[in-house]
Amino acid sequence: MGNKINKAIKGLSVVPRPDFESRILLKIRDAREQQKKTKRYIGFGISTLSLCGFLPFLVYTVKDFYQSGFFSYISLLFSDGKIVMENLGQYAMSVVDSFPFLAVSMSLLFLQIFFVAIRYSLSQIDATKSLKVVFNN
């Protein structure tokens, strides 16, 4: 990278300061660190918002399960399996009909957004950055 900077400097009529190249490299490094920090905060913000959206949908999903009678059909399967086997087609249609697809799919969507945002945020964190110890003299 230093050769490219030297080529760009040679065309100038003004003589740059001796620390010009190091200052440019420091500015580039600082800009990259700022970009990583911004991406990390955005990822954590999105994950927080998706978690805040997931919790009400989780409550709505559980409420919808109880209101639809889904658990009653499942308990019927374990309590009286003979009747269920005799009317398997009707039982299967009743279970599918009582399953709250919209609530479950929305809850899973928010959960997926949460995990993707967390994964994105954690990929922005340098593992070595946490190990650095900076002493100011």
On the 0-12 / 13-18 / 19+ scale of CB atoms within 10 A, 104 is middle
For residues 7 and 12, give the distance between their C-alpha atoms in angstroms, rounded to a whole number. Answer: 10
Which uninterrupted H or E stretch holds 130?
none
Task: Supply the pLDDT for residue 133.
Answer: 46
Q: Is the pLDDT of residue 80 over 70?
A: yes
Report percent pLDDT > 90 for the chain: 0
Task: Supply the pLDDT for residue 12.
Answer: 67
**Is residue 107 in a domain?**
yes
Task: Supply the pLDDT for residue 15.
Answer: 67
Say which range, 11-15, 48-52, 80-84, 121-125, has the weakest mean pLDDT: 11-15
What domain range includes position 64? 19-125
Phi-psi region of 124 (alpha: psi -120 to 50; beta: other; left: phi over 0): alpha
**Is residue 35 in a domain?**
yes
Q: pLDDT tens, 20-67?
A: 788 888 888 888 888 888 888 887 888 888 888 888 888 888 898 888
**Is residue 60 in a domain?**
yes
**Is residue 36 in a domain?**
yes
For residues 24 and 5, give the distance between their C-alpha atoms in angstroms, rounded to a whole number. Answer: 9
Confidence band of 2 (pLDDT split at 50, 70, 90): low
Q: Is the pLDDT of residue 129 over 60?
A: no
Averaged pLDDT of the chain: 79
Q: pLDDT tens, 115-128?
A: 888 877 777 665 44
Residue at token pair 């490219």: 4
CB neighbour list of residue 70: distance below 8 Å, 6 or more residues apart? 95, 98, 99, 100
How many domains does the chain fold into? 1
**Is residue 86 in a domain?**
yes
Task: Supply the pLDDT for residue 37.
Answer: 83
**Is residue 135 in a domain?**
no
Per-residue DSSP letter, 15: P
Residue 64 CB neighbour total at 10 angstroms: 19
Task: Supply the pLDDT for residue 136.
Answer: 41
Decide: 125 and 86 in contact? Cβ < 8 Å: no
**Is residue 113 in a domain?**
yes
